[in-house]
Amino acid sequence: MQLTRAAAAAVAAVAIAAAAPAARADGEIAIRGAYYKEKATRVQQPMIDARLDVGDAGQLDAHFLVDVITSASVAAGNDGQPFSEYRYEAGGTYLHRFGDARVGAGVRASTEPDYRSVFVSGRGEFDFADRNTTLAIAAAAGFDRFDNDNTDFDAPFEPRKGAMTTTLGSLTLSQVLSPVAVASLTYDAARIGGDQENLYRQVSVGDALEQAPEAVPNVRWRHAIYASARAFVEPTRSTLIAGYRYYFDTWEIRAHTPEIRLVQDVARDVSVRLRYRYHRQSAAFFYRDIYDRLERYRTDDPKLGA
């Protein structure tokens, strides 16, 4: 549920997946890569995904990835000088089929110089009306700890330690509209508690523009409603996807995000993806570019602004 400033963008990407079946055609391995760049930040992400069929009704999935983050952000604590950071993530899920139902669980862990995270989840999917209607229920919990005392870059800020917990619930209803079209509606709710401040973000206060560390409420309830529809066009081997997401939280952020996507098959295991997304949101109730005086809650994080 990443929040961004009001923006409209069109993005084109090519996704290539290399699949290697096992000896009995009961699994596959996919090697992929992602590249992302915005002002002052570049992320490279090589990843490996693996799938293994377990018996006639089980499926085991696993992944490993590395985020190589290069940034020159002042909020990163080195006065605009570029630095690189590595984040490693590994996880796995297991899904078992029981007739018209599927039940699964998963775990994911990640580590970086100043952050540790563990995320566990469970989900169930239930088919109705000859599998034309599907109800999916999911629940998850995350446990994060941070400590910036051992980072490699030269941070001018005082060391900070803290912890954060996340509890998430999700409900999705999917409906087959035709042999080549399906629609879905999803509601997500999450409670985040604990230390949610950016470790390195400093906020400008007063006429002298003194710097103070970011401070935000310890509890945040987040809600999102997402509606989507997709259709496959057989003659052109194209998939059309349209969606709309409405988001609101207890920090008084309200966001609207419509998007359209096109996935075009061009060869076996090769597809071209086109995406147009528009995002508009209000600011958190305590957000300011510059604070007149030191306040209890304070941030100038663009992701929390309008």
Query: What does the pLDDT look like over 45-104, one tens digit per residue?
Result: 899 999 999 988 999 999 999 988 887 654 544 455 667 788 999 999 999 999 999 999
Rounded to two decimals, what is the model's pTM? 0.78
* Domains of the chain listed by start with CATH number: 7-304 (2.40.160)
Whether the CB-CB separation of 279 and 261 falls below 8 Å is answered with no
Q: Which amino acid is at 126?
A: F
Neighbour tally for 305: CB within 10 Å: 19
Is residue 185 pLDDT above 90, yes or no? yes
- Return phi, psi of residue 297, to 5°: -110, 135
Write out the H or E segment, with its range, that includes residue 283: none
The torsion angles phi and psi of 57, rounded to 5 degrees, stand at -130, 5
- The band of 297, judged by pLDDT with boundaries at 50, 70 and 90, is very high
> In this model, does residue 12 exceed pLDDT 70?
no
Residue 6: pLDDT band with limits 50, 70, 90: very low
Q: What is the pLDDT of residues 227-272, one digit of tens each?
A: 999 999 999 999 999 999 999 999 999 999 999 999 999 988 899 9
